[in-house]
Amino acid sequence: MKCYRWIAGLLPTLMICLGQPCQSGFAAGQFGPTADDSSSRADATRVIAVRAGRLFDGKSDRLLEDQVIVIRGDRIAEVGPAARVSIPPGAEVINLGRATVLPGLIDAHTHLFLTGESGGRYDEQLLKESWQYRTIEAVVNARKDLEAGFTAMRDLETEGAMYSDVDVRNAINRGLIPGPRLQVVTRAISTTGGYPLEGYSPEVPVPTGVQIVDSPDEARKAVREQIKYGADLIKIYSTHRFRFTPEGKLLSIPTLTLDEIKAIVNEAHREEVKVACHAYGGEGLHNCFEAGVDSIEHGIDLDDASIQQMVEKGIYFVPTLYAYENEPEEDLRATGGKTSRARIHEGSFRRALARGVKIAFGTDVGPFPHGTQAKEFEYMVRFGMTPAQALRSATSAAAELMSWQDRIGSIEKGKFADLVGVAGDPLADITELERVRFVMKDGRIVRNDIK
């Protein structure tokens, strides 16, 4: 997903972000992508044993001590206490005995095709960079995210680079380039006037960061086209412009009509594809619940009815907290210092957490540098999560959002051998995740800086 900041001279606070919804109604493997058919995986006869001084399995509240993970090819063959699990003869042993080993991290909201968009860079990327150049940037970004420990991601639209994310996903799966296993959105969907580029003269044709639809029929056709050309999930922008009232209340302007969103969700679900909904609040957000989307991205201004809907329907919340913490100044200027999206967002996150809404880790990385998105953990914990909850949001919970809980998100027999290692104890200091020192994907070492 992307978050796009619009610094042009319209509303000082105008900002566009993407969100994606996910609903729990679909079982693993039943729904969604099969895009991780990697031919790059490790030789099936290769056996590796990882010694883990401490291990977070992706599901529990505590660390296990002195564990061994046996890996055959690209999969975990066995995991358990060193006293019980014997290391097979001839296995390559990786000693992380002084480190903490965790499942590979999952970022459920990224933008590989954005490379620092603030200060007008977004317009420049769409107007001056070819899809080919942007794809090269995306390849570089994918490697940075992987080396930071993110072994799986949902990439939430290319921002004008059309279907180039499908090629990046396929190249990773085929072993041509390093990168996380990906689910990709392709183009995303909004309405005329519901997405940048904006602010140009009517007689000058300029590209748009999404596919535009203006009727239920056009919406249905867009979904069909995007799936035809390789989309793993559909993303809609259900709100776009926003402003603050003099009292400091956030008003989010809807884009798609309820009928258009219903057509999108109906068509996507007919084709067994999930729908992610970017929404801040208000009518656009509520339309997404009524239409039956699967996840809410950002959800900055969640009222009690929204939270109730998310709990009842099992809709995932992908908050992307850090992206908003980055730049509260423009909001503070717009509200005379009363409030900001960041502070409203914090309140929504705290209330959703208290009510038991399913929360998946997502960062909106792209507008800020790839490979730095683990900063999100710090804000999740600061706003009320335990470190273990925050880690589960980026492992087992995000895997469920992707319908990939049968293959990633925990360190268990049969799962892909996607692992990360940090030097310290992340339950004592969540910022350890900002200093990932060991990364393995598909049983292959991406980096190992643990000595």
Given the complex with Zn ion, which of 328 and 424 has the nearer CB atom? 328
Longest Cα pair distance anywhere in the chain, in angstroms? Answer: 73
Minimum distance from residue 108 beta carbon to Zn ion (Å): 11
The C-alpha atoms of residue 257 and residue 394 are separated, in whole angstroms, by: 32
Figure out which of the listed residues 1, 273, 401, 446 binds Zn ion, where binding follows CB under 5 A.
1
Given the complex with Zn ion, which of 298 and 441 has the nearer CB atom? 298
Given the complex with Zn ion, which of 5 and 54 has the nearer CB atom? 5
SS3 189: strand
The interface region with Zn ion, picked from 100-108, 145-153, 339-347, 361-369 by CB under 5 A, is 361-369
The C-alpha atoms of residue 74 and residue 39 are separated, in whole angstroms, by: 10
The C-alpha atoms of residue 2 and residue 44 are separated, in whole angstroms, by: 37
* Interaction mask 307-346, Zn ion, x per CB under 5 A: ----------------------------------------
Given the complex with Zn ion, which of 379 and 416 has the nearer CB atom? 379
Closest CA to 105 of 390, 325, 365: 390
Minimum distance from residue 2 beta carbon to Zn ion (Å): 4
Minimum distance from residue 366 beta carbon to Zn ion (Å): 7
Closest CA to 38 of 408, 422, 438: 408
The C-alpha atoms of residue 185 and residue 162 are separated, in whole angstroms, by: 10
Minimum distance from residue 114 beta carbon to Zn ion (Å): 9
Tokens at residue 249, please?
């209340």
Estimate the share of the chain in helix, then strand, then coil, as percent rounded to the nearest 5: 30, 25, 45
- Binders of Zn ion: how many residues, by CB under 5 A? 6
* Cβ partners under 8 Å of residue 417, min gap 6: 42, 48, 69, 71, 74, 75, 76, 440, 441, 442, 443
The interface region with Zn ion, picked from 65-73, 246-254, 363-371, 411-419 by CB under 5 A, is 363-371
- Of 11-40, binders to Zn ion (CB under 5 A) are 17-18
Nearest residue to Zn ion, scored by beta-carbon proximity? 1
Figure out which of the listed residues 159, 232, 364, 376 binds Zn ion, where binding follows CB under 5 A.
364
Q: Is 3 a binder of Zn ion (CB under 5 A)?
A: yes
Q: Which residues bind Zn ion (CB under 5 A)?
A: 1-3, 17-18, 364
